[in-house]
Chain A
């Protein structure tokens, strides 16, 4: 209902083209001035009307009172002349006064023609004329020393009638005035009620309009402030501010809605852009990786072109040449090198091999090292043959043996020994590579798994691959004592088959 009224008011405001707060305030002020002014003007004229009526009553009463006093004065003057109290000159004044008195009565007779007193006033005028006429005759008789008593007594009788008639007129006028006064009083009371009602109505209207206008301004502004606060705190999911008016507040609300929507869009765009940029960066990283992979692949292609064909062909040719030059040991070394190279390159993609493959490869390597070091190094294999079919990560053993020779035994003065032991313990296959070389200094033990510190594939690579294959980081352990040697122990969980480990 209130909304309907509001929309009705809005329709009126829209019809009047009151589309700004300033125009609305000016219109409202002007409206109130007109209403209050009209009310005041009406009150003013009404009060004046009542005042005039009241004055009219009072004026007539005053007039008839004055008429009574004046007539009595005239009558006294008349009596005084007859008693020789006044001289003859005064007689002329009496005539003038009587004449003026008669004129006054005539005037009031004309004025009272439409009143109830008119008949009485007309009678009064007749009595006054009679009185004047007889006064004049009485004074003429008195002047001529004739008998004037009859006329005097007639004048006195007329004077009594005149006084009685004046009292009647005043009494009648008072009666009429009391009725009129009651009407005036009634109208005045009604006027008070109308005034109070009008003031109350205006007060209520004013209150409604003030509440409506203040709500129309403050509510959207409060709503705007709340939303602005939420936006400032980072919450951009604010609903639009709804304003039914079409003034500056609506303009402000619409601008705010546009601004918040734009901010939301902007943030969305920024987030989207950031996501796109992130994706692009990821894409770039991928591309970079792909590019690096391609470059690496490119290099690997070249390398692989050299590996299988070129290197093996070259080694075969070298072997033939060694044979031609009667260098049989060199021939055997070249053949072993070729086998090692073949094992190194040939099974890279395979991932796992059997322990037998690893042991055979190490034996090939040991053969070369035995030729190289002659009797300086003693190699000892202690292998449990039943465990050789165990699947193990490819090329995990050769780096351990190579490390033992290069970093353990080779720097040692004098002879050395290297033991490779394969045995079963609990549910695991244990592989030990033990040397009696120089050992690993304590400070180097900290970096033993750091591939940057290692000169070969190193323990780090083997450890990482063991961890990757078996999801266990404790499968490679190293014990070393400077001057006494090093023991590397590899633990292969028993029962693992090719399909059961991460390839």
Chain B
């Protein structure tokens, strides 16, 4: 019951009010970021989403990575190599974002040096393969099942 107490819609509505006032006050960058946070919160906390398109998951990962840069982790460079749209591929909700969050925590939290983290997604034999490169060196390949 307590888990129901955190109402992400409530937070999103508040963030929406903030974003609207940011526009009124001409703070367009603030508004962009607020909307990005609102989208991210809505996506992450939406319990009704069990399966999402690969595109939605990738968009969320991109927003998360942008916000990570925005909040100050500037010694990190990362990119997501996605060559085409994957609207027809379905993956488990947060399956990729979860790995990225863990990677960021493990890789960057206790280091001061500039590291390059790059993800390249491939679609092979009905599976999504996330190839992870750290400083241009492939360190891991993660397989995410296509739930089609």
Interface residues of A (CB under 8 A from B): 296, 298-300, 302-303, 305-307, 310-311, 313-315, 317-318, 321-322, 325-330, 333-334, 336-337, 340-341, 344-345, 348-349, 351, 368-369, 371-372, 394-395, 399, 402, 455-457, 461, 464-465, 468
Could you tell me the distance between the alpha carbons of A45 and B35 in the complex, rounded to whole angstroms?
Answer: 134
CB contact under 8 A between A468 and B1, given known A325-B25, A329-B25: yes
Q: List 5 A-B contacts (CB under 8 A).
A: A313-B71, A325-B29, A340-B14, A349-B2, A371-B17
Chain B, 23-34, contact with A by CB distance < 8 Å: what is the 0/1 string?
011111110011
**Is A368's CB under 8 angstroms from B1's CB?**
no
Number of A-B residue pairs, CB cutoff 8 Å, is 127
**Is A325's CB under 8 angstroms from B14's CB?**
no
**One of B4-12, B76-84, B115-123, B140-148 at the interface:** B4-12
Chain A residues with CB below 8 A from B3, complex form: 296, 300
Could you tell me the distance between the alpha carbons of A455 and B6 in the complex, rounded to whole angstroms?
Answer: 13
**Is A457's CB under 8 angstroms from B30's CB?**
no
- Chain B residues with a Cβ closer than 8 Å to the other chain, count: 40
Given contact pairs A321-B33, A327-B27, a sample of 19 additional A-B residue pairs in the complex whose CB atoms are under 8 Å apart: A302-B97, A305-B101, A306-B40, A317-B72, A318-B34, A328-B25, A330-B21, A330-B25, A340-B14, A344-B7, A344-B10, A344-B11, A351-B2, A368-B14, A372-B17, A372-B21, A402-B10, A456-B7, A461-B5
Cβ 8 A contact of A305, one of B14, B25, B71, B105 = B105
Chain B residues with CB below 8 A from A351, complex form: 2
Could you tell me the distance between the alpha carbons of A321 and B33 in the complex, rounded to whole angstroms?
Answer: 9
Chain B residues with CB below 8 A from A345, complex form: 6
Chain A residues with CB below 8 A from B72, complex form: 313, 317
**Is B101's CB under 8 angstroms from A302's CB?**
yes
- Is B98 interfacial (CB-CB < 8 Å)? yes
Cβ 8 A contact of A326, one of B21, B27, B44 = B27
Could you tell me the distance between the alpha carbons of A303 and B97 in the complex, rounded to whole angstroms?
Answer: 11
**Is B30's CB under 8 angstroms from A321's CB?**
yes
Chain A residues with CB below 8 A from B5, complex form: 344, 348, 394-395, 457, 461
Q: Which of chain B's residues 100-130 have a Cβ closer than 8 Å to chain A?
A: 101, 105
For the complex of A and B, list the 4 residue pairs with the smallest distance between their C-beta atoms, beginning with the closest. A327-B25, A325-B27, A327-B27, A330-B22
A319, closest chain B residue (CB): B30
CB contact under 8 A between A348 and B94, given known A303-B45, A337-B15: no
**Is B9's CB under 8 angstroms from A337's CB?**
no
CB contact under 8 A between A327 and B71, given known A299-B94, A302-B101: no
Could you tell me the distance between the alpha carbons of A85 and B123 in the complex, rounded to whole angstroms?
Answer: 167
Chain A residues with CB below 8 A from B67, complex form: 310, 314
Could you tell me the distance between the alpha carbons of A461 and B18 in the complex, rounded to whole angstroms?
Answer: 27
Chain A residues with CB below 8 A from B98, complex form: 298, 302
Could you tell me the distance between the alpha carbons of A302 and B4 in the complex, rounded to whole angstroms?
Answer: 16
**Is B33's CB under 8 angstroms from A317's CB?**
yes
Cβ 8 A contact of A315, one of B21, B37, B40 = B37
